[in-house]
Structure 1
Amino acid sequence: MSFLRGQAVKWKRYGVASLIILTSVSVAACGNDENEGATAEADEVNNTEEGSNDSTTEDLIEVEQLTNWYAQAEQGGQFAAHMQGFYEDAGLDMTIQAGGGGVSNTQLVASGQVDFGMGSTDEILMARNDGIPLVAIAGIFQQSPQALMFHEGQDIEEFTDLNGRDVYVSPGAGFFEYMKSEFDLDVNEYSYTGDSTMFMENEEAVSQSYMTSEPFNLANEGVEVDWLLNGESGFEVYGNLLFTTEQMIEEQPEVVQAYVEASIEGWNFYKDNHEEVIPFIQEYNPEMSTEQLEYSAEALQPLVYGYEAEEHGVGYMTEDHWQNLMEILLDLELLNEELDVTEAFTTEFLPEQ
């Protein structure tokens, strides 16, 4: 039984006098067509679970986490932890809320409306730059699945090969500002909207994407693609990292510990058992097909379980990673001043390997 169970702990919600609206340097590039009604469906699932477990959750601590998009395979470890009861075993009464277009995880976590969020290295650094004291507590994706995709057969092997092409990308996206500077790119930029129609019709075009989803969707439309991972350019971010506030860590460290350990247990289960978790994800987002979820669950394997996670475990983060990206953002003038990156992340809650 968890050391949290039975404690009469109440959350002290973190408030900020005023919230600074953050413009994300990256836009989630998947799931636009699959997610009608997904948020409402997720609420129904959570409410049903709460209603059926009243007798067993009285001594659990209520916790709410917000994902970075509608329910999908890229959040599979969180759903696995919920499905398998790992959060409950850790003393937590978990509610998972879906993110999506127009939802700011950083604001909702900073204001205390939710306890934990999902984001990326650059988002945390930019939030801290704006005076919002968020802290990353687990870097789920060692390498972000964000990529620049192009039609299969195009003569593109490295980033310099993008010169002269039409590129669909979010205006001001940090990763592409870095690429243009680093590789001296001269391209025709068009605003990325999530609609791949223009890309599909232009065989020489390039578009931002998630390599865990867009290739599957386009293949179903008869378009085969290849891609360059953004991280291969040097703009490396931890994707789908878990974060909370400094105040939560200071005042409720045992809750943060329980959340991180249960989440990592969920990701370890998900690695070889994602087929079991897929129906549970579909309860939150029934528009997601089994085939799409299976494709994504396989595609994300090296990004979550490879790189340094192979030796140190899921969620591992390093100071060098944070320092390198901080310096890139500083050079791009996306940060006002140098930050102490050791205050932006911690590995103290990760399970020992």
Structure 2
Amino acid sequence: MKNNVRTAVRLGALTLTAALALAGCSSSDDSSSPTASDTPSTAETDGESGELTDVTLQLQWVAQAQFAGYYAAVDQGYYEDEGLNVTIQEAGTDTVPIDVLAAGDADFAISWVPKVLGSIEQGTNVTDIAQIFERSGTTQISFKDKGITTAADLAGKKVGSWGYGNEWELFAGMQKAGIDTASGIDLVQQAFDMNAFLSGDIDAAQAMTYNEYAQVLETVNPDTGELYTPDDLNVIDWNDEGTAMLQDAIWADADRLASDSDYADTAVKFIKASIKGWVYARDNAQEAADIVTAAGSTLGTSHQLWMTNEVNKLIWPSTSGIGTINQDQWDQTVSIAKETKNETGATIVSTDPPATAFSNEYVEKALAELEAEGVDVLGADFTPIDVTLNEGGN
């Protein structure tokens, strides 16, 4: 996989149904897109773009509005303004972004913090240099007639879980509520779609706010002939339950940060331009959704806009400036990673990660430059838009 990312992207398009929940989404095999992964990393092409520095960003899934800020930064020329020629490299079903980064096949990567903590404990030396998502987008949803409104209500129920590193908030929430997750629930291996939930085989299913939750709302209720509505559902939000974990972050190679001043400078420039892309997506949701569609996403029009809007809610308003790693949220993520056991009885890590696991040094430099330019990096006045979903997300 490390040396064959383009193949994995094509495979990801062919096996969409088997991987939706890995990053909550839809797929594309448009490798002719101007941001598709046809170029190697900086180390292999440095200087071939004239005055621009070649940079490869490894996503954790395919083109979709979960990554709208990066696509907007390409489209709006923000990376070029910082002297960067950025290639966005999509992922396939078997792509591990941090492995791609560690192998030198990308300069930066997007991944959830808990998924990377395990790699760090196993010896991968990477650093979270910008925590783009401040809030978790993972929920557990159920139909109202199940009477499930809190984690405690999951006791004795058929509980869906994707696994593959997506289950930690769910298990932390149940264990915090006093449920013996080894015997107190009927754990169901949830497929990467909502079919089992819609058919009644799962009482409470995992759903990302920006994807699977919308998939239900895009489905016709056979009892009414109309689309399901939020009034038909109960939602357990792990942010409210106190077991949310940090998700989409920008990761860099820790060894290169320490030894290569040019790479460290590039990290600041990359963060700065990426944040400008996310500010654009915040203030121009429809345009950002259209940019992602043009980049190759196959999601429907209303679903793409829904995703842009919901992802914006995970970022804005920002407590300390977009990208800042807040110590309390980091500590909560690490605590859950050390103490929560999944269905196999395993935890993510056994000890605290090293100090190099995250750093605000680079994002703080980027934020200072942006604020000097008058860019709003807090989004205190952010207001989500109203999105009307159509059947099938079209």
The verdict on a shared fold, with TM-score over 0.5 as the criterion, is yes
TM-aligned CA distance change 1:216 to 1:323, over 3 Å: closer
Give the aligned residue type for 2:30: E
**Counterpart for residue 207 of structure 1:** 205
**Counterpart for residue 302 of structure 1:** 313
Identity %: 19
Give the deviation of 1:233 after TM superposition: 2.9
Within the candidate set 285, 309, 313, 2:296 is matched to 285
TM-aligned CA distance change 1:165 to 1:286, over 3 Å: same
TM-aligned CA distance change 1:245 to 1:49, over 3 Å: closer
CA distance in 2, matches of 1:79, 1:182: 38
**Counterpart for residue 53 of structure 1:** none
**Counterpart for residue 254 of structure 1:** 265
Alignment of 1:96-115 (within 5 A): 96-115=88-107
TM-aligned CA distance change 1:272 to 1:42, over 3 Å: farther
CA distance in 1, matches of 2:172, 2:238: 10
Alignment of 1:210-249 (within 5 A): 210-222=208-220, 223-224=228-229, 225-249=233-257
TM-aligned CA distance change 1:183 to 1:193, over 3 Å: same
CA contact (8 A) 1:322 1:341 kept: no
Alignment of 1:127-276 (within 5 A): 127-152=119-144, 154-171=146-163, 173-185=167-179, 186-202=184-200, 205-222=203-220, 223-224=228-229, 225-250=233-258, 251=260, 252-276=263-287
**Counterpart for residue 386 of structure 2:** none
**Counterpart for residue 361 of structure 2:** 348
TM-aligned CA distance change 1:170 to 1:349, over 3 Å: same
Give the deviation of 1:334 after TM superposition: 2.2
CA contact (8 A) 1:129 1:335 kept: no
3-state SS in 1 of match to 2:141: strand
Give the deviation of 1:111 after TM superposition: 0.7
Give the aligned residue type for 2:73: A
**Counterpart for residue 120 of structure 1:** 112
TM-score normalised by structure 1 residue count: 0.82
TM-aligned CA distance change 1:235 to 1:100, over 3 Å: farther
**Counterpart for residue 73 of structure 2:** 81
Give the deviation of 1:237 after TM superposition: 2.0
CA distance in 2, matches of 1:212, 1:110: 29
3-state SS in 1 of match to 2:322: coil
Q: CA RMSD in A?
A: 2.4
330-339 vs 288-297, which deviates more? 330-339
TM-score normalised by structure 2 residue count: 0.74
CA contact (8 A) 2:140 2:205 kept: yes
User: Given the alignment of the two structures, is residue 41 of structure 1 paired with residue 33 of structure 2, yes or no?
Assistant: no
CA distance in 1, matches of 2:292, 2:56: 17
**Counterpart for residue 317 of structure 1:** 325
220-229 vs 62-71, which deviates more? 220-229
Count residues in correspondence.
315
Greater RCO, 1 or 2 (C-alpha within 8 Å, sep 6+)? 1
CA distance in 2, matches of 1:294, 1:231: 23
1:149-208: CA deviations, max 9, x gaps? 112454222111111211110247322332332223221111122122111011871111
**Counterpart for residue 4 of structure 1:** none
CA distance in 1, matches of 2:80, 2:163: 42
TM-aligned CA distance change 1:341 to 1:228, over 3 Å: farther
TM-aligned CA distance change 1:336 to 1:329, over 3 Å: closer
3-state SS in 1 of match to 2:85: strand
CA distance in 1, matches of 2:23, 2:85: 31
1:215-264: CA deviations, max 9, x gaps? 22222212443422233333222221111110231212111111111111
**Counterpart for residue 85 of structure 2:** 93
CA contact (8 A) 2:146 2:203 kept: no
**Counterpart for residue 223 of structure 2:** none
Unpaired segments ≥5 residues, structure 1:
1-25, 51-55
CA distance in 1, matches of 2:349, 2:62: 32
User: Given the alignment of the two structures, is residue 69 of structure 1 paired with residue 61 of structure 2, yes or no?
Assistant: yes
Give the deviation of 1:274 after TM superposition: 2.1
Give the deviation of 1:62 after TM superposition: 0.7
3-state SS in 1 of match to 2:133: coil
